[in-house]
Amino acid sequence: MSIKGKAYIAGIYEHPTRLAKDISLAQIHAQVAKGALEDAGLTKDDVDGYFCAGDAPGLGPMSMVEYMGLKPRHVDSTDTGGSSYVLHVGHAAEAIAAGKCKVALITLAGRPRAEGMATGTVPRSRGGTPTPDEPFEFPYGPTVVNMYAMCAMRHMHEFGTTPEQLAWIKVAASHHAQHNPHALLRDVVTVEEVVNSPMISDPLHRLDCCVITDGGGAIVVVAPEIAAKLKRPKVKLLGAGEFVKTQMGGKVDLTYSGARVSGAAAVAEAGVKPADIKYASIYDSFTITVLMQLEDLGFCEKGKGGPFVADGNLIAGTGKLPFNTDGGGLCSNHPGNRGGLTKVLEAVRQLRGEAHPAVQVKNCNLAVAHGTGGSLGLRHGSATVILERE
């Protein structure tokens, strides 16, 4: 069975806040759910499927189901970090295709800024019963940033990728963020500013890193017969793929990501080629994340990501592959340190023709949204969806 054409994204909402001092985590989940349902023209009582990940308070989906007064007949709280919500879109389509639900709600919320969390630079133990990998990793000081940095270091060693090429990814994101009134960072930056920003963990500078923000977002995925009755532009799911890439028992290879598998599965199911895609939402926790995923999704050859992203090739209006036109996680929003959901949102805006006019891609009829969750250098979940304007 394929999910091609079996589900549509009918509603989206991104919380405008980037610092949520005065609202609770559950409150943000409910606010974004309300926003996405209103965008779709649906109500809370239409929801019969609910999807969330580890950012939701409580055990799996249960506390939020209760808080929002939902009555789902299908739930899924699969957590693959920041990629979870891209994966949930695929899982929602599977559930809809199997007749398990017709209106699936996906929510994300987080408050790392308000809570003063040291997101990227402090090793974190999960607490409780240690994972089998923890004693062999945690005492050495793995952080979010240094494990991604090791991927960048190896990429530079094997392929000659340069800090300036990586910097172009931030530069492109900043060109887009200047048009987003909600973006945390709205100043356009230069390659020189990126490579001269303080070194965090070699070879990644401060401006190679994404923002840390509070907020959230929601997506409503519906069955074709529901989409047909709604008034919003129709965004159809053509294909989805997922993968978990690990250290493979010590056969570590930092030069590629799980996008190689999830992306290939998604485009195969959709029956499209990377060259057909007009707009790309690419997970951007760090500049290196974008570069590796672009290679792994087939937009360029492995190792050629550096030249591909350079010279503004990712900037809407001038480049060949406009990416993250909302400013992405690098400049606009990375709610709860989980950037997958906002990737889907901007892809839907582009396909609806509702992106900011300065960054709207002309005749945008085919888009990809891709997420990487967990740690690119340790173990991560990848999820890809291919979306089409009908």
Partner 1 sequence: MAAQERKLPAPAVSQETQAYWDAAAKGKLLVRKCTSCGQAHHYPRTICPFCFSDKTEWIEASGKGAIYSYSVMRRAPVPYAMAYVTLAEGPRMVTNIVDCDFDKLKCEQPVKLVFKPTDGGPPLPMFTPA
Question: For binding to partner 1 (CB under 8 A), which residues are involved?
Answer: 121, 125, 130, 132-143, 145-147, 149-154, 157, 198-204, 247-252, 254, 378
In the bound complex, what is the minimum distance in angstroms from residue 128's beta carbon to partner 1?
A: 11
Task: Please check whether residue 238 is in contact with residue 270, taking contact to mean a CB–CB distance below 8 angstroms.
Answer: yes
Q: Which helix (H) or strand (E) holds 296?
A: helix 287-296
Closer to partner 1 by CB, 99 or 132: give it: 132
DSSP 8-state secondary structure symbol assigned to residue 207: G
**Whose Cβ is closer to partner 1: residue 281's or residue 285's?**
285
* Smallest separation, CB 198 to partner 1 (Å): 8
Q: Shortest distance, CB of residue 21 to partner 1, whole angstroms?
A: 25
Kindly state the smallest distance separating residue 120's Cβ from partner 1, in Å: 9
**Residue 61 CA: distances (Å) to CA of 42, 65, 80, 368:** 21, 6, 15, 27
Closest CA to 314 of 297, 299, 329: 299
Nearest-approach distance from CB 170 to partner 1, in angstroms: 18
Q: Show the tokens assigned to 363.
A: 């005749």
| Smaller CB separation from partner 1, 30 or 204 | 204
Picking from 165, 82, 149, 133, the residue whose alpha carbon sits closest to that of residue 377 is 149
Q: Which is nearer to partner 1, 209 or 267 (CB)?
A: 209
What would the DSSP string read from start to end of 120-149?
Answer: SSS-----SSPPTTGGGTGGG---HHHHHH
- Which positions ≥6 away from 46 have C-beta within 8 Å? 37, 103, 226
Smallest separation, CB 59 to partner 1 (Å): 24
Both tokens of 177, joined, read: 């963020």
Q: Which is nearer to partner 1, 85 or 148 (CB)?
A: 148
- Of the candidates 68, 33, 389, the one whose C-alpha atom is nearest the C-alpha of residue 227 is 389
CB of 321 to partner 1, least distance (A): 27
Q: Which is nearer to partner 1, 230 or 378 (CB)?
A: 378
Smallest separation, CB 329 to partner 1 (Å): 19
Query: Given the complex with partner 1, which of 124 and 320 has the nearer CB atom?
Result: 124
Contact 291, 256 (CB under 8 A): no
| Contact (CB, 8 A) for 42 and 15 | no
Angle at 166 between CA 202 and CA 180, to 5 degrees: 115
By C-beta, is 203 or 239 nearer to partner 1? 203
Q: Choose between 31 and 201: whose C-beta lies nearer to partner 1.
A: 201
What is the rounded distance in angstroms from the CA atom of residue 131 to the CA atom of residue 153?
Answer: 27
Of 360, 363, 324, nearest in space to 342 by CA: 324
Distance in Å, CB of 203 to partner 1, minimum: 8
Alpha-carbon distance of 387 to 390, in angstroms, equals 9
User: CB 385 → partner 1: shortest distance, Å?
Assistant: 30
Bond preceding residue 203 cis, omega within 30 of 0: yes
Cβ closer to partner 1: 116 or 135?
Answer: 135
